[in-house]
Amino acid sequence: MRPTVFVGNENTGVGTAVVAAGCTINDRIRHLAAVSSNHGKFVSAVAKLANDLKNDGVISGAEKGAIQRAAARSAIP
């Protein structure tokens, strides 16, 4: 388990956390990468995840931004 959130090969610097049923933020992002049919859908799905995590108090606004920027810069899928 990585101590920080990665989007593809990019380390966001955001600490990872277990968010549901033993899944980490990294697990959730990897799942979104696997099920997204194109880059735009991946970025949108990561943005929703990041918003939900912020609203639940798991990450800060700055951390949400770091995750979303990394998703936008990624080559996933």
Tens-digit pLDDT string for the chain (77 aa): 789 999 999 999 999 999 888 899 999 999 999 999 999 999 999 999 999 999 999 999 999 999 999 999 999 98
CA–CA distance, 58 with 68 (Å, rounded to integer): 15
The reported pLDDT for the residue numbered 1 is 75
Extents of the domains making up the chain:
4-73
Token pair in block for residue 26: 């990294």
